[in-house]
Structure 1
Amino acid sequence: MNDTFMYLIFLWTLIFIGLLAIGGFFMFRKFLKRMPKEDGRSELDWQYYYINQALPLWQEDSRALLNELVSPVPELFRDVAKERIAGRISKIALDEKADKIELDHMMRGYIIATPKRDHGFMKKKLKELNIDYSPYMKYFEFADDEKKKFSIFDHSELAQKK
């Protein structure tokens, strides 16, 4: 009886330390995104800046499409994904001095801001929505990649419509 109790305490300790490590990992990643870059602003600062600047450009239909595009993301991470994608879409629209955010801006921003590991889910969602992503195939190579760390706001000239 006493040994069983000790094993349970040991098992609980391992589980607790594991959960703390996982939580710490995600908090550290958020901390790194808050760290200022050479220009004095962090990745999240730029994201919020572009979203706030482009708020008048977002129409009801583009907001609804963005909500639909992030619907496959688990609810716990959906707001973060939505802000990240909206930030990239907003930057593209602002760089092009657009009057409103259109499907073309959304597709380019959505593809670039979506991590490469999630492209399968993304393509499936676009097929469900009957959106042809074949004209945007070249943007898949500029997508966020965990192995090559860069800001999704770095390569604006590559995301320009040509």
Structure 2
Amino acid sequence: MGTLLVLWGFLLISLMAIGGFFMFRKFLKKLPKDDGKSVMDWEEYYIKKTLHMWEVKEKALLEELVAPVPELFRDVAKHTIASKIGHVALEKNQNRITQESIIEGYIIATPKRDHKFLRKKLKEKEIDVAPYEHLFTLSKSNYRDNWQSKYRKTKA
């Protein structure tokens, strides 16, 4: 009986720690940065600003790219990636979301471990990855905070 009670306590503490971790991450994304807006505020801004620029083909490509994400987290991942794609498209002054901006935004928004899947998917679709190699060489930890200036440097 004592062992069962200890296991039950360990399970509850573990589940609360996991839940607390994800709640804390969400809390950190909601904290305002130097410009007065939080990461989530900027995500919403880019989504709203570029919503009219998405076409069916591009939406389908984004759905394909986020398919390996577990269903529980897929909506959050799609939202985060779509906002980064919107940011890239606005930086380039595009009138619509293109396949190139989707790929660039996906690379910037995702950690390095997801790039293997992207390379595989692009190979299946017979899309050349050479124009994006400079982005693949960066890891998310290298450009997460200041990715705009590093992105501009690689384009120069």
**TM-score (normalizing by structure 1):** 0.86
Give the CA deviation at 1:109. Answer: 0.5
Counterpart selection for 1:44 from 40, 43, 66: 40
Aligned-pair identity in percent equals: 49
2:116 aligned residue: 120
Partner of 2:6 in structure 1?
Answer: 10
Greater RCO structure (CA 8 Å; 6+ sep):
1
The 4+ residue runs of structure 1 with deviation greater than 4 A are none
Q: Residues of 1 paired with 2:143 and 2:10: CA distance?
A: 32
2:148 corresponding residue in structure 1: 156
Q: 5+ unaligned residues in a row in structure 2: which ranges? A: none
Q: Any conservation in 1 of the 2:143–2:150 contact (CA below 8 Å)?
A: no
User: 2:54·2:97 contact (CA, 8 Å) conserved in 1?
Assistant: yes
Q: 1:149 to 1:12 in 2, by over 3 A?
A: farther
When Rg is computed on C-alpha atoms for both structures, the one with the higher figure is 1
Say if 1:108 and 1:149 are closer, same or farther in 2 by CA, change over 3 A: closer
Q: Structure 1: how far apart are the matches of 2:101 and 2:151?
A: 9
Counterparts in 2 of 1:62-141, with a 5 A limit? Answer: 62-141=58-137
Given that 1:92 and 1:109 are in contact with CA atoms closer than 8 Å, whether structure 2 keeps it comes out as: yes
Residue pair 1:66, 1:82 contacting (<8 A) in 2 also? yes
Change (3 A) 1:143 1:101: farther
| Structure 1: segments with no counterpart, 5+ residues | none
Aligned residue pairs, count: 154
Deviations 1:99-136 (A, max 9, x none): 11111111110111111122222222322333222210
Q: Is the 8 A contact 1:92 1:159 kept in 2?
A: no
Letter in 2 for 1:21: A
Q: 1:57 to 1:149 in 2, by over 3 A?
A: closer
- Per the normalisation by structure 2, the TM-score is 0.89
